[in-house]
Every structure is written in structure tokens, then in C-alpha cells.
């Protein structure tokens, strides 16, 4: 049984037993003096897995973290905001290596057990002296999850944290997580970082598979096409502090673990969509009746990513023709006479026929911080859900004034 998300102050990466976190202000941010350097540490060695950007040019921290995850183990994460250390070549890689080394020395673990993540402007080298200076001042804490979540924020307006708990075989297991990333016209182009933790003991192959499946229904469903920034990073650390046998296919608790990880990832992904740059609304797009799951995913993501749909939602304009246009160009099979469309619960188009509806009332219903769009393609059993946000003048303001 999967219980609902924990909503206490402890939600986040330190919700599971045995994880500590903290942060400091290293002065890496140009626009604020908020904390920008963060550390996550597990008291015990962890089984670990990661998913990284599919970009042809990967940032230095990604290259290093992939290398350090090759053995399926890790014990700590050092992360910073302000500078992504991307497009920085060999010098950038040396800086990421030094970050791992500094954290490893501080935490008395091997360099290879530290993962590194950086977010912020690209094309600039990290000011390593500031990181060297600030690292010793980070206090690690069982309640440090929220500080960690706040220190990795860039244009995010709120920290994104989630946690879930379940019991199996008389034991209570916890899954926690935090994320950042809020460029939302094409979320794939802003850096997304997500860190997950669990006190369940988990087999490495099963952990990796669980993470991939959870990402498919969460983080991937807030992207337009699975593309990514040079820095996108999702990692999960499992320290086994809850005890019991290692979870794997067929082991008691494995199914609940999979559900808990997916639940945490969906909550974080929705949080990212809702906090898209300049966003005022969350858009949820459900597609059913598709010929295949792949078709449903493509259609849902194309609608959620459509600037015209996003602009219409912002303007409380139930312009459902734009939804159909997005579905039709998504690559999903569609037939006008089989397609139905619901806007904020109201059926406006039924199997190819426009229905009459009260435009004013529907516009009023769209004045909500959650707008639900549902498309039934009427051709099969493929289903998917995607999330996005509205497109506002504020998005343009944020992104035209980023570095200068």
C-alpha cells in the first residue's frame, strides 16, 4: 500500500533515515546572496543509479558523475547553483573533480563516491576559490533537506520537495526527493536536477530500472521531446538503513517501492511544471484512446509544450482548436471523427463534432491555477499524462535578462 506524500518539514532528501544535508552561501550567484552550495551525505554507503542528459555536449559535472556511478555506488552529492560549468572543456572537468575531492575529504569518503551537479549560466568557469572557502562552513543536519533544495534553485520561486512512505514485511520504508528546474516553454532546455533518497535496501539493477520507469511517467512528461540541457541529472541513493532484504523483482515490498518512487517523481515533476518560469498555472494534459502508449505520450507532451496552447491558457481562452492542432502534428495517429476533447471538464468536441458550450463560463473556469485538458483519440487503449504551465510575458522578461 502506498500512503500519501509526507508533508512535514522533513519531506525531501533527508526524509529517509541516515541522510544528512546542508548548504552555504559561496557567493556564486550574481543576483542574490542566497545559499548556492549544497551537500547531501549518507551515513552508510549507498547503492546508486542515475539518469543524465541526452545532449550531445554534456557538462563537466555530468561526465564526472557518470564516471563515479559506473560502479553503482555513491555516498554523497555536492551541488551548486550560479554556474553550470558547461562548455568548459578539460579545465571544467578538473574543477568538477576538485569539487568531488573537496567533498570527499570533508566527508571522509572516496572521491569516486561523490556525485557532482552544477546549474546556472553556461560558458563560464567555476570560481573554485569561493567553493574551497565555503565548503567547510556547511553544517550537515538530519533536517537539512530543505536547505539543500533551496540552495540548488535558480529561477525557481519555491523549493520542490516530496516524500512517500510504505510498509512491507513489517518494516517502514521512506523515499524522499528534491528537484529544481523551471524553464518551462521547453523544460528540456533549462537544467533539471533531481535528487532522490531512500532508506530501503535495493538491488542496483532494480534501482536503475525503477528510476527509469519513474522518470518516464514524471520528468519525461514535462519535456517536449526528451531532449535535455547539457547538465540534466537525476540520481537516487539507497542506503538500506531501514533494514531487511534488498528489494528486487519479486521481493516483498518491491512493487510498493516502485510506486513510491514514481509518486515522489511525479510530485516533483508537477512542482517543476507549476513553477515554470513566469508561470501562473499548472496545465495537466491527459490523452486516452491512442493507438499506442507512445502515441499518447507524444500527443500529451506536444499539447503541454505548445506555446499557443500555453498562451491561450494564460489568457483564460478555451481555444481548443490549438489543442487539436498540437495533437495532429504530434506524430500520433488521429482521426477527426474519432476525436473528443474536454477543456476543464467540459466536452467541447465530441467524435468530430463541435458542441455548443457557454464560452464565457468556460473562460471563467479557465481562471484557475490548474487547467485540465483531456483528449480521447478513440482509436485504442494508449494513455498518458503530461504537465506544463502557461506562457506569460514574465517568461520572456526572465529569459531576456538572464546573464546581463
List, in order, residues 6 or more apart from 358 with CB less than 8 Å away. Answer: none
* Helices 320-328 & 293-305 angle (0-180, nearest 10): 130
**Residue 121 Cβ, how far from a copy of itself at the closest point, in Å?**
7
Report which of 99, 173, 181 is spatially closest to residue 134, judged by C-alpha positions: 99
Select from 30, 54, 137, 381 the one that contacts a copy of itself (CB under 8 A).
54
Question: Which CB sits closer to a copy of itself, 3 or 359?
Answer: 359
**95-103, 118-126, 144-152, 157-165 -> range binding a copy of itself (CB under 8 A):** 118-126
Q: How far is CA 366 from the centre of its chain?
A: 26
Q: Which residue among 154, 191, 302, 339 is the active-site one?
A: 191
Would you call 122 a catalytic residue per the annotation?
Answer: no
| Ranges within 308-367 binding a copy of itself (CB under 8 A) | 308, 311-312, 314-317, 319-322, 324-329, 332-337, 339, 349, 352-354, 359, 363
Residues 329 and 133: their CA atoms lie apart, in Å, by 52
**Residue 389 near a copy of itself by CB under 8 A:** no
Pull the grid cell for residue 120. 546556472
Distance between start and end Cα atoms, the chain: 50
Residues 337 and 378: their CA atoms lie apart, in Å, by 9
Question: Which CB sits closer to a copy of itself, 169 or 307?
Answer: 307
**Residue 317 Cβ, how far from a copy of itself at the closest point, in Å?**
5
**Residue 212 Cβ, how far from a copy of itself at the closest point, in Å?**
19
Pairing of strands 73-80, 114-118: parallel
Select from 33, 170, 250, 393 the one that contacts a copy of itself (CB under 8 A).
393
**Residue 280 near a copy of itself by CB under 8 A:** no
**Residue 292 near a copy of itself by CB under 8 A:** no
Select from 1, 56, 108, 356 the one that contacts a copy of itself (CB under 8 A).
56
| Ranges within 87-106 binding a copy of itself (CB under 8 A) | 87-89
CA 350 vs CA 50, 338, 340, 356: distances in Å: 43, 8, 4, 11
Question: Which CB sits closer to a copy of itself, 38 or 323?
Answer: 323
| Ranges within 156-185 binding a copy of itself (CB under 8 A) | 183, 185
**15-23, 48-56, 207-215, 242-250 -> range binding a copy of itself (CB under 8 A):** 48-56
Burial of 66 (0-12, 13-18, 19+ CB in 10 A): middle
Angle at 189 between CA 209 and CA 121, to 5 degrees: 110
**Residue 117 Cβ, how far from a copy of itself at the closest point, in Å?**
16
Number of Cβ within a 10 Å radius of residue 328? 14
**Residue 228 near a copy of itself by CB under 8 A:** yes
Select from 25, 189, 217, 346 the one that contacts a copy of itself (CB under 8 A).
189
Residue in the block written with cell 525503477? 210
- Sheet harboring 353-354: ordered strands across? 353-354, 346-350, 340-343, 370-376, 282-290, 382-389
* Residues labelled as active-site residues: 191
Q: Please report, as ranges, the residues that interact with a copy of itself according to CB under 8 A.
A: 54-57, 84, 86-89, 121-124, 183, 185-186, 188-190, 227-230, 306-308, 311-312, 314-317, 319-322, 324-329, 332-337, 339, 349, 352-354, 359, 363, 391-393, 395-404
Amino acid at each position: 500500500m502506498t500512503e500519501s506524500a509526507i508533508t512535514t518539514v522533513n519531506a525531501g532528501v533527508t526524509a529517509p533515515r541516515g541522510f544528512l544535508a546542508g548548504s552555504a552561501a559561496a557567493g556564486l550567484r550574481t543576483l542574490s546572496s542566497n545559499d548556492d552550495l549544497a551537500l547531501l551525505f549518507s551515513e552508510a554507503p549507498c547503492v546508486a543509479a542515475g539518469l543524465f542528459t541526452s545532449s550531445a555536449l554534456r557538462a563537466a559535472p555530468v561526465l564526472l558523475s557518470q564516471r563515479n556511478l559506473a560502479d553503482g555506488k555513491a555516498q554523497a552529492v555536492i551541488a551548486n547553483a550560479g554556474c553550470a560549468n558547461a562548455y568548459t572543456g578539460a579545465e571544467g572537468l578538473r574543477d568538477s573533480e576538485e569539487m568531488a575531492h573537496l567533498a570527499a575529504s570533508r566527508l571522509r569518503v572516496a572521491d569516486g563516491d561523490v556525485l557532482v551537479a552544477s546549474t546556472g549560466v553556461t560558458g563560464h568557469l567555476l570560481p573554485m576559490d569561493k567553493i574551497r572557502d565555503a565548503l567547510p562552513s556547511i553544517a550537515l543536519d538530519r533536517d537539512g533537506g530543505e536547505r539543500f533544495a533551496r540552495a540548488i534553485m535558480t529561477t525557481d520561486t519555491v523549493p520542490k520537495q516530496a516524500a512517500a512512505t510504505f510498509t512491507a514485511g513489517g518494516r517502514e520504508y521512506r523515499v524522499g526527493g528534491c528537484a529544481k528546474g523551471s524553464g518551462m516553454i521547453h523544460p528540456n532546455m533549462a537544467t533539471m536536477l533531481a535528487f532522490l533518497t531512500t532508506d530501503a535496501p535495493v538491488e542496483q539493477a532494480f534501482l536503475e530500472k525503477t528510476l527509469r520507469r519513474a522518470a518516464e511517467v514524471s520528468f519525461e512528461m514535462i519535456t517536449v521531446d526528451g531532449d535535455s540541457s547539457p547538465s540534466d541529472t537525476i540520481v537516487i541513493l539507497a542506503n538500506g538503513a531501514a533494514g531487511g532484504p534488498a528489494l528486487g523483482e519479486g521481493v516483498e515490498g518491491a512493487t510498493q517501492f516502485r510506486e513510491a518512487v514514481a509518486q515522489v517523481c511525479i510530485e516533483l515533476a508537477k512542482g517543476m511544471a507549476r513553477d515554470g518560469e513566469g508561470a501562473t498555472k499548472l496545465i495537466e494534459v491527459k490523452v486516452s484512446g491512442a493507438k499506442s502508449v507512445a502515441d499518447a505520450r507524444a500527443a500529451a507532451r506536444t499539447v503541454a509544450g505548445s506555446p499557443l496552447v500555453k498562451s491561450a491558457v494564460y489568457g483564460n481562452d478555451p481555444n481548443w482548436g490549438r489543442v487539436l492542432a498540437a495533437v495532429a502534428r504530434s506524430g500520433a495517429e488521429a482521426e477527426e471523427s474519432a476525436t473528443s476533447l474536454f477543456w476543464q471538464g467540459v466536452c467541447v468536441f465530441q467524435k468530430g463534432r463541435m458542441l455548443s458550450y457557454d464560452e464565457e463560463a468556460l473562460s471563467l473556469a479557465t481562471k484557475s491555477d490548474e487547467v485540465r485538458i483531456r483528449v480521447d483519440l478513440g482509436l485504442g487503449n494508449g494513455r498518458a499524462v503530461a504537465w506544463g504551465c502557461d506562457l506569460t510575458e514574465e517568461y520572456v522578461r526572465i529569459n531576456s535578462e538572464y546573464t546581463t
